[in-house]
Amino acid sequence: MANGKSEDKRLESLPAKLRVAPGERVKLRDEDASRDHGWDEAAARAQTAKLREELGELQYKLYADGRQALLVVLQAIDGGGKDSTTRHVISAFNPQGCTVTAFKAPSAEELKHDYLWRVHRHVPAKGEIAVFNRSHYEDVLVVRVDNLVPREVWSERYQQINEFERLLRAADTHVVKIFLHISRDEQKRRFRERIDDPTKQWKFDPADLIKRTQWKAYMSAFEDMLEKCSTTHAPWHIVPGDHKWLRDLAVAQILKEALAALPLRFPQPSYDPKSIRLD
């Protein structure tokens, strides 16, 4: 960083650079997954550490205020870094006021309800933060790519999801959506690392190789998701994910911006603090 002003400018501008404007056309190119947006690793890691402290302070104020909630949606292709992002950034939040839910294949009970039922149960209460590792968007992604439901069914879900998120926003639940974008080569590298490392082999599922053959279909599904469901009330952000240090910085900045924009205040005490005398 050349100077403090330059650093501040970059800190403020990164979320805006990554946000998908409503109606914007999206093309997920491999080369964009490794962009650093002018940051180097050392500076990014140092700034992320500072932001983690600020995120903790903002969560404390969110909890004390008790009138707002934050829902964070993380989506990515297999190996995209959802778990790692949770470990390196989301862990800045006090777990007493933050839940993380990983959505896998629907259970028999979940399949008896509409597709939004299982996610609606996990949205955050007022004063809390909830993180979705995968989410309701699986129903326009894997469902689409694997032809689990007809096109006329999943194609209507974009608008249904937009209205669902509009409902959440009307109830003071602010939705921040983050797509972790990695290149095909980076996914290959991460899969190879999991296979070769005995401490990570448990994380690899041979079925992921089938998903890898569907790369183009998934990229097309992700592009439609980003184009059709980035709204003023619940915008998408496309975060370059090949460099984990840039990814962590970007996510931390996006979350700080979202929390700092909320009308938070510490509640007034029901007593006069000056009247309290402690022996």
Q: Tell me, what CATH number does 110's domain have?
A: 3.40.50.300
pLDDT score for 5: 54
253 lies in some domain:
yes
269 lies in some domain:
no
pLDDT score for 118: 97
199 lies in some domain:
yes
8 lies in some domain:
no
Query: Of 110, 84, 77, which Cα lies nearest the Cα of 225?
Result: 77
pTM of the model: 0.93
111-141: pLDDT as tens digits:
999 999 999 999 999 999 999 999 999 999 9
271 lies in some domain:
no
In the chain, the number of structural domains is: 1
Average pLDDT for residues 99-110, to the nearest whole number? Answer: 96
114 lies in some domain:
yes
Please work out, in degrees rounded to the nearest 5, the angle formed at the alpha carbon of residue 234 by the alpha carbons of 228 and 236.
Answer: 60
203 lies in some domain:
yes
pLDDT score for 1: 43
Domain of 142, in residue numbers: 16-264
| Confidence label for 4 from pLDDT (cuts 50, 70 and 90) | low
| pLDDT at residue 163 is higher than 60 | yes
Average pLDDT of every residue of the chain? 94
